[in-house]
Structure 1
Amino acid sequence: MSSSPRPDCKLIRPAIPYDGKQGFSYLEGICSENSGSQGIAMMLLTVPPGGRAKAHLHEGHETAIFVLSGEVECFYGDKLENRIITKAGDMFYIPAGMPHLPVNRSKTESCSCVIARTDPREQESVVLLPQLEVLAD
């Protein structure tokens, strides 16, 4: 009986930024395209001072965020009616299909975070929600 070969470990040294549909630039991390991952993607995001994403959700995929530095206000909910401020050292969970929109209110400090998502293709499940943009002030 033959079995498929077991995947090998991969070392990723993030060096290539890419622009996400959400309006931010991410530092390439682990995804199916570069590591063969089957159920996870992980990347580094630095939100510049005053940076604001587009309202969006990740269809069918959960997101976990660990804030390394700075802080971001995140609006979330069907009408972005809820908000939370995440700070360095915080972990933040976003369930699959939850509309959200992060904003860095600082005029001087960036916010850096590690993001892990259950979508190994990372950008594939992103659904933009332009109708919600005006709801987050």
Structure 2
Amino acid sequence: MCRREDAMPESADETVEAAPIVLTRGADAPWSGHRSGMSIQFGVSGELSGSSHVFMTHQRIPPGMESTPHVHTNCETAMFVLAGPVLMRHGPALELEHRAESGDFLYVPANAPHQIVNPSTTEDAAVVLCRDAAEEIVREL
């Protein structure tokens, strides 16, 4: 899915300097509680790393937790399930459901109504989320 540089058209400006690469160690990445009950570790954002188009978090979802139904108005979301299961309710009335297990990927388009659920009564679920914006804008439904 990546193109090699020699397969790309030549750029008009070959002198563009890259921004520095930023390492955020997991031990140093801040954790924050969320009103839904999730714990969110921020790894990449505009504030933390100077990102202008990427936002990445590690999230722990406690047993039985259900997020508030919501949409992200300014970004798409990709999710990788580290430990599951995770239920993704979606659709205009949240009438559809995907059950993702450890090792699965989920994609959520911008403005798609969804709700994250940990159906387990005993185990935390864990996911890595990546969004195509440095900051997310959330609208609860």
Which residue is equivalent to 1:74? Answer: 88
8 Å CA contact retained: 2:86, 2:125: yes
Shift of 1:72: 1.0
The answer to whether structure 1 residue 52 and structure 2 residue 63 are counterparts is no
Could you list the runs of 4 or more consecutive aligned residues of structure 1 that deviate by over 6 angstroms after TM superposition? none
Q: Does 1:106 align with 2:120?
A: yes
Amino acid at match of 1:63: T
**Structure 1 residues 22 and 38 mapped into 2: Cα distance closer, same or farther (>3 Å)?**
farther
Match of 1:96 among 110, 124, 130: 110
Taking a change above 3 Å as real, the CA distance of residues 113 and 53 of structure 1, as seen in their structure-2 partners, is same
Residues in 2 aligned to 1:21 and 1:33: alpha-carbon distance in whole angstroms: 21
Aligned-residue Cα RMSD (Å) equals 1.8
Task: Give deviations 1:6-57, integer Å, cap 9, x for gaps.
Answer: 4111001233112346652201110000111111101101111111111111
- Per the alignment, residue 21 of structure 2 pairs with 9
2-side partners of 1:69 and 1:20: how far apart?
Answer: 19
Is 1:128 the counterpart of 2:124? The answer is: no
Q: TM-score, normalised by structure 1?
A: 0.83
Please state how far the C-alpha of 1:4 moved relative to its aligned partner: 8.2
Aligned residue identity for 1:10: V
The structure whose Rg is larger is 2
Please report how far the alpha carbon of residue 5 of structure 1 lies from its aligned counterpart in structure 2 after TM superposition. 5.9
Q: Residue 55 of structure 2: which of 41, 47, 51 is its match?
A: 41
Would you say the 8 A contact 1:72–1:86 is kept in 2?
A: yes
Asked whether the 8 Å contact 1:22–1:56 carries over to 2, the reply is no
Aligned residue pair count: 125
Task: Give the 3-state SS of the residue equivalent to 1:34 in structure 2.
Answer: helix
Q: Which amino acid aligns with 1:12?
A: T
Q: Deviations over 1:70-122 (max 9, x none)?
A: 21111111111111101101000001100100111101111111100112113
Unmatched 5+ residue regions in structure 2? 1-14
